[in-house]
Amino acid sequence: MEMIKSILTIYVWVVIEILIVFLGRIAYFYAKTSGQRVGHYFFLLPALLLVVGAIWYLRCGGEFIGQPTGDLLLFVGGFLLCLFGFRLQELMTGGR
């Protein structure tokens, strides 16, 4: 049962990282077509923090509670992803 839980956890985190890569590619495409500086490479930082946070939890037994370091990594990664996503949205929609 523990192996199935680990496999599903890894699968979910891979899907999350693929979605972050797509968001970064959208930002790259927008930067190329609009000529604006978007900072698409900044999406690597939250992706890296989320991966490190997930690996931290997988190494500590797989339970996603009670590990302050893992919680901090996931929180900061998610917060930065929200900030960069909102910034990209503002740039792409012109602040509407």
Could you give the C-alpha distances from 26 to 10, 40, 78, 85, in angstroms and in order? 24, 8, 18, 11
pTM: 0.83
Length of the chain measured in residues: 96
Total domains in the chain come to 1
**pLDDT over 70 percentage in the chain:** 95
For the cut 70, the answer to whether the pLDDT of residue 62 exceeds it is no
For the cut 90, the answer to whether the pLDDT of residue 86 exceeds it is yes
